[in-house]
Amino acid sequence: MGQSNCACCLIAVSFVLLSVSLVYADHVPVGSSTLLHGSRNSGVGGGIDATGPWADGECVLSWDITENNGTFTYVYRITNSSGGVLAKDVGNLILQLTPDGIDWSEIFDDVAGLGQPPEVGLFTAGPSIPDLPSDLFGVKFEVLDGTLMIQFDTPFAPEWGSFYASGGKFGKGKDKQNVYAYNHGFGTDPVGADFTNWIPIDGVATPVPEPSTLILLLSGTGLLAGAARFKKKI
């Protein structure tokens, strides 16, 4: 009886682990290594909406994501179309995060070149975040010198998500406008195979198991169930 109960417990645990894995499989991971290095721009079809001097292809957000022994290094840059400094300085950058029970408190402590420590939370439109299309849970970096190159390390693999950047105001008098940029698909879930409207973000809490891992898990569960039935017949 004791062995049978143990087998049943193991079966239950296996199904719980499987169900958790399937929940995280709902995320949209950046599955191709070639997509870990890329960019979006504010030109036609470039994936970014931008205003003022950042419009017409002059705002480019690029990324380089590498992995070493389970640690992911994320590097983001915002430049003009020639790879130089934007015509209007970057004030802050918000990168979307996954809020699924992760403690982000110490992840971004070592990011350099910021006016103040990064802030993690739910952000809404306001004076320092003008024209944010909708609320966004993420990390906010306030840039100190007007240029932008953000780098940090986390144990979490990338998935597709949203960003927002602002650069103060541009123009004079009644023509003055807020300068900002964000991805076309801001606030929506990526669909299909074309991810142009999103960027890779730090966010998959638990990597989706490889098919072989799922097969092993299901096989083990089947063996445990068989053992329990065999014990009962004895």
Same domain, 13 and 76: no
Is 198 in the same domain as 217? no
Residues 219 and 174 in one domain: no
pLDDT at 204: 65
Regarding whether 221 and 191 lie in a shared domain, the answer is: no
pLDDT at 162: 97
Position 11 scores a pLDDT of: 46
Q: Are residues 105 and 52 in the same domain?
A: yes
Asked if 60 contacts 44 with a C-beta cutoff of 8 angstroms, the reply is no
pTM of the model: 0.76
Q: Do 40 and 20 share a domain, yes or no?
A: no
Pair (132, 221) in one structural domain: no
Please report the pLDDT score of residue 122 as a whole number: 94
Residue 16 shares a structural domain with residue 104: no
Report the pLDDT value the prediction gives residue 32, as an integer from 0 to 100.
Answer: 86
**Pair (118, 13) in one structural domain:** no
Q: What is the pLDDT of residue 52?
A: 93
Q: Long-range pairs for 76-81 at CB < 8 Å and ≥24 separation?
A: 76/148, 76/149, 76/150, 76/151, 77/148, 77/149, 77/150, 78/148, 78/165, 78/181, 81/41, 81/43, 81/57
Burial grade of 156 (CB within 10 A; 0-12, 13-18, 19 or more): buried
How many domains is the chain built from? 2
| Claim to verify: residue 54 and residue 126 sit in the same structural domain | yes
Which residues contact residue 112 at a Cβ distance below 8 angstroms, ignoring those fewer than 6 apart? 151
Q: What range defines the domain where residue 21 resides?
A: 2-25+210-233
> Same domain, yes or no, for 88 and 182?
yes
Q: Block means of pLDDT (10 residues each) for the chain, length 234 residues?
A: 50 41 55 92 98 96 95 95 91 88 84 88 92 95 83 93 93 86 94 92 60 45 48 52
Assess whether 56 and 106 both reside in one domain: yes
